[in-house]
Amino acid sequence: MEAENHTDVSEFLLLGLSDDPDLQPLLFGLFLSMYLVTVLGNLLIILAVSSDAHLHMPMYFFLSVLSFVDICFTSTTILKMLVNIDTHSKDISYTGCLTQMYFFMMFGGLDNFLLTVMAYDRFVAICHPLHYTVIMKPHLCALLVLMSWSIISLVALVHVLLMMRLTFSLGTEIPHFFCELAQLLKAARSDTFINNIYLYVTTPLLCVFPVMGILYSYSKITSSLMRMSSTANKYKAFFTCGSHLCVVALFYGTALGVYFSSAMTPSSQSSAIASVMYTVVTPMLNPFIYSLRNKDVKGALGRLLSTAASRL
């Protein structure tokens, strides 16, 4: 029988980035190093923000949440790939695949929403500085994060529930290093019309609306900067947005790169390699961007490391 119901499918096969056995040790070492740098860098950001009273502000609260999400986002995909390389296996269970897909969509979408919330924070700080502390109260910051988390979790959960009604062949191969939604839909042996409709409906929610929010916020910020008479104030205000702008450009730039790579090159393996940029490279670089471009974060990290060194 060509297709079996999903209840009979116990596992999928993740083909990974390369089938060359000589490359496996290199890939393992490379991605393990990148993962450790990602975890260490983002943990340092979280510890610096939580331990330094100077950073107990909405902007740095959102930054610490973003760092936590980046750790989870990378862990969702890279850990399974490292295990498979180490054990010379390509297997992932049916339940494990759907679980990985759920958390990948949730943390990826949450990254999207957090960048939008951080743009709103900068909009309020620059365009309404006198009302900043009144508007960006701690409970509002927590509510924005909670709302983002709830919306993304619900959207991802519905994707998983719709995926559970599909059928797959035994030994289904996924030409990727993680269970990506698009690849699973291509591998399905039953009608994916409803899944595709839901995907087309939720894409604006997860991508277009956040991008529009970021563009709107920065259009207002630019307009406000143009009205400032002091060059020093303009530079100071723009500098506070520099790190966020770099992260936004990196996140959406790599995501667009993956999209165009998939559109121009039909090879699924090329798409998988391009996906490394936003699933691994971007979360790894975010802590460096914020620590190198932000004097407050740099100072807090210095004090944190000095305190840790003195206790050794």
Residue spans per domain, the chain: 6-311
Confidence of residue 260 (pLDDT cuts 50, 70, 90): low
Percent of the chain whose predicted confidence (pLDDT) is above 90: 55
User: Could you report the per-residue pLDDT of 100-112, keeping only the tens digit for each?
Assistant: 999 999 999 999 9
pLDDT at 9 over 80: no
Sequence-separated contacts (24+) of 167-172 with Cβ below 8 Å: 167/3, 167/4, 167/5, 167/6, 168/3, 168/4, 168/6, 168/9, 168/12, 169/2, 169/3, 169/4, 169/9, 170/4, 170/8, 170/9, 171/11, 171/13, 172/9, 172/12, 172/13
Q: Regarding predicted confidence, which is higher, 141 or 5?
A: 141
- DSSP secondary structure code for residue 168 in this structure: B
Q: Regarding predicted confidence, which is higher, 267 or 310?
A: 310
Query: What average pLDDT does range 16-37 have in this prediction?
Result: 92
Spell out the CATH class of 6-311.
mainly alpha
Question: What is the model's pLDDT at position 208?
Answer: 87
Instruction: For residue 102, give Cα distances in angstroms to 9, 13, 95.
Output: 18, 18, 11
Instruction: For residue 152, give Cα distances in angstroms to 30, 107, 206.
Output: 31, 8, 8
pLDDT at 3 over 70: no
C-alpha–C-alpha distance, residues 64 and 58, integer Å? 10
Question: What is the model's pLDDT at position 78?
Answer: 95
pLDDT at 4 over 70: no
Q: Report the Cα–Cα distance between both ends of the chain, in Å, rounded.
A: 64
pTM of the model: 0.91
Closest CA to 211 of 182, 155, 249: 249
Which of 7-11, 177-181, 272-276 is least confident?
7-11
Query: What average pLDDT does range 122-135 have in this prediction?
Result: 92
C-alpha–C-alpha distance, residues 225 and 223, integer Å? 5
